[in-house]
Amino acid sequence: MIPGTRAAGQSAAWQRELARSITDPAELVRLLGLDPAFIDPARAAARRFPLRVPRGYLARMKRGDPHDPLLAQVLPLDCELRSVPGFTADPVGDLASMVAPGVLHKYEGRVLLTTTGACAIHCRYCFRRHFPYGEANPATDRWNDALRYIAGTSSIREVILSGGDPLTMSDARLADLIGVLAVNAHVERLRVHTRLPVVLPERVTDGLVNALVSSRLKPVVVLHANHPNEIDSGVRDACVRLAGAHITLLNQSVLLAGVNDNADALCDLSDALFAAGVLPYYLHQLDRVEGAAHYDVPEERSLELHQAMRARLPGYLVPRLVREQPRAVSKILLA
């Protein structure tokens, strides 16, 4: 066997790690030494949107602390089942901008492909928690429509692979997709929106890095980290490997009550990202998705927090505070 290749059917270390993720609320509660009273509500909420946490991510949580900022992103709570006015299934109008199965063309020059519905972690505040991936997923058997749309739309200069998480796809599948995208002379940049290097840094293999730089497209990887405790040495190493291949690294975060709605956490996150070679890009106001109302930070408070960041950090470490709005020509800058 050629070094670095694998026999068909054999899975990579990251795929085995992904398969070992925690999906049973009782196991999560036991491993963290939490009050068993969390189990029943978590089971009820997980029936709507299942629990999923990689073991390596759980290892960064503090045992016995029900308020741990990483746990707070993944623990299903019964308040998710309450309906709150203004919190809907498609808060950002994604379905209205779907021009072909899995192709969202909302902004000039950029299209977003929902490549897969799969994620390595289930973030309870995710605005795609109700997204109909079955209908929207071109990865099933409908790639052709998506590729035809991109080929026929010469204004597209950047293709954004999103999901779900595009890095749950295998290296081979990703390399194939990048190859066919690069055939379009009008496309210049490849952007990948992913949380995998943060929640499962083992995913950043040489094979992945090679796939990302295998075409003429300029690669940009936009990570998703929300709290400085997420950035450990494994994540830093993964970022170093990506940056070493001349991949531009940015980060987007969501402002979340009970996770990062304080100036210390936000400033420490910017510092930790920079130390890993990543620049903060966006800080998103929560999308008002059904089941996530308990994470909402009032806009006034968000502005205060952003002001505090500007007062303490160099400008290049202050992310743009934005909100997504259906039918707008770009994300709305709040500060």
Ligand X SMILES: *Cc1c(COP(=O)(O)O)cnc(C)c1O
Per CB under 6 A, residues contacting ligand SF4 are 119, 121-123, 126, 128, 163-165, 195, 224
Q: Where are the beta strands (DSSP E) in 84-208?
A: 98-100, 103-107, 110-114, 158-162, 189-194
- Quick one: which of 108, 155, 114 has its CA closest to 138? 114
Point out which span in 2-10, 34-42, 83-91, 99-107 binds ligand X (CB under 6 A). 99-107
Residue 1 token pair? 């066997």
The entry of ligand SF4, ligand X, none that residue 112 binds, CB within 5 to 8 Å by partner kind: ligand X
Task: Give whichever of 75 and 104 is closer to ligand X, judged by the CB atom.
Answer: 104
Element housing 273 (H / E): helix 263-275
What is the smallest separation between the CB atom of 252 and ligand X, expressed in angstroms? 8
**Interface pattern 41-80 for ligand X (x via CB under 6 A):** ----------------------------------------
For tokens 């170093």, name the residue: 240
- Quick one: which of 167, 245, 171, 247 has its CA closest to 207? 171
Task: Give whichever of 291 and 319 is closer to ligand X, judged by the CB atom.
Answer: 319
The entry of ligand X, ligand SF4, none that residue 71 binds, CB within 5 to 8 Å by partner kind: none
Beta-bridged to residue 37, according to DSSP, are none
Cα 52 to Cα 17, 36, 293: the distances in Å are 12, 18, 20
The entry of ligand X, ligand SF4, none that residue 106 binds, CB within 5 to 8 Å by partner kind: ligand X
Q: With contact defined as beta carbons under 8 Å apart, do 289 and 89 qualify?
A: yes
Q: Is 127 exposed, middle or buried (0-12, 13-18, 19+ CB in 10 A)?
A: buried
* Residue numbers belonging to the annotated binding site: 119, 123, 126
107 binds ligand X (CB under 6 A): yes
What is the smallest separation between the CB atom of 121 and ligand SF4, expressed in angstroms? 5
Task: Give whichever of 68 and 184 is closer to ligand SF4, judged by the CB atom.
Answer: 68
State the residues that interact with ligand X by CB under 6 A. 97, 104, 106-107, 110, 112, 160, 330-331
